Structure 1
Amino acid sequence: MMDIHLWGNSLRDMLGVMESKPEYDKRLIGYAFLPMEEVDRSDYESLLKRNLPEVAPGRNKPLHGIKVLTSTGVMCAAIRTLARLDYGHVILYIKALIVDAPYRNHGIGSALLGLLDRVAPLETELIAGTCSDEKAAFYQRNGFVVEDSGKSLPLKDAMILVPADSSFPRWFHRRPFAG
C-alpha cells in the first residue's frame, strides 16, 4: 500500500468562489472552495475538534483535501482525503468531512463530495470512508452505498476491500462518476 499525491496544480483552477460556477447550488454563492494546505492545519484541527471530536487529527499525515471559506475568510467546512494504491487499486478515502453547525443544510457537504470526482486521480476505482449511523442517510443521498463495517467489497481482479478499522459502525463507497 502506498499513498498517492492527490492534488495537482489544476485543483486551484477547478475550485474557487462558487459565484463563478453557475452549475452549483445558489446557496453556495460566496463560499470559496480551495485546496487545503499545511498552513491550514490549525484551522482544520479546530474545526475537527468542534464537530468530530472522536476523529483523530492525523498530525503525522499530510493535509490533503478541500477547505471551504466564508466571504470573511473563516474556514467553515473541509473534506480531508487520502488516495492510496491498495494492491493495485487506487482508492480515495474520505478521512473526514466536516461542516460547522451554522453552515449545515446549505449544500456545502454535498458540494465537497461532488468535487471529489473532479479532483480525484484518474485511476481512482472507488471513493470510500466510514461514518456514524446518523450520517448514513447523507452519504446515501449523495450516491454512496452504506454498509455495516464488517462487510467487505469485491474489486476487480478478485481483490476484496475491507473497510479500515474505525470508531464508526458504517462505511460507505461508490465508484467515481465520469466527469
Structure 2
Amino acid sequence: MSRGQVGTKTVVGGTVAGVVLASAVLMGFVQKWESGGTRGLTVYADRLAGGLPTVCDGLTKHVTDTPIIVGDVWTDEQCEAEERAAMVKHVQLPLINCLGRTPPQSVFDALSSHAWNFGVNKTCGSVAAQYARRGDYETACERIPRNAAGKPVWSSAGGKFVRGLFNRRLDERKLCLRDVQ
C-alpha cells in the first residue's frame, strides 16, 4: 500500500478528495509511455532528461527519496512498490493540493502523468492546471498538448521538438477527456 500526507491526515492507498490515488489506469498509462510495457530494471542515464539516472517506469530522484544509481539493478517488486509510493507522495498529493478542487478522475490521471514526466511544480504552473483550477476541464485537457494557438507544448527536450513526447501529450489529452465529454 502507498503512504502519503495530506495536511495532517495520513493516506494509505485508496482515495483522497474523491479521486483514486495511483489508479490502475494511471499506472498502466505511465508504464506504457515510460517503458513501452517492459520495465527497465537496470538504472540508466536517460538521454532525454540530460543523463538523469532513471529506473523502472521513469523513477528519478525527483519523485523518490530512494537513491537511484546508474548500474544498480532493481526487481519488479521494488519498482511497483516504489512507483506507487512515489506517485502518491511526490506527485498526486501535491497535485491535488495545487488544483484546489476535485477534478474528474481522468483529468487527475492525465495531469498526474504530466507531473510524473515534468515534475509537479511545472504541471501546477501549467496553463492546463490553471484551467483545471477554474473547473474548465475540457480546456484543461486541450492545453496539455497544445497552446491556445494550436502549437505543441511540453514536447521538447534540449530545445528540440520530440515527436514521442508530443504523442504522449496527445495521449494524455485523450485520457483527460475520457470523463469530461
The bucket for the TM-score relative to the shorter chain is: under 0.3
**What TM-score, normalized to structure 1?**
0.28
Greater strand fraction, Structure 1 or Structure 2:
1
Greater helix fraction, Structure 1 or Structure 2:
2
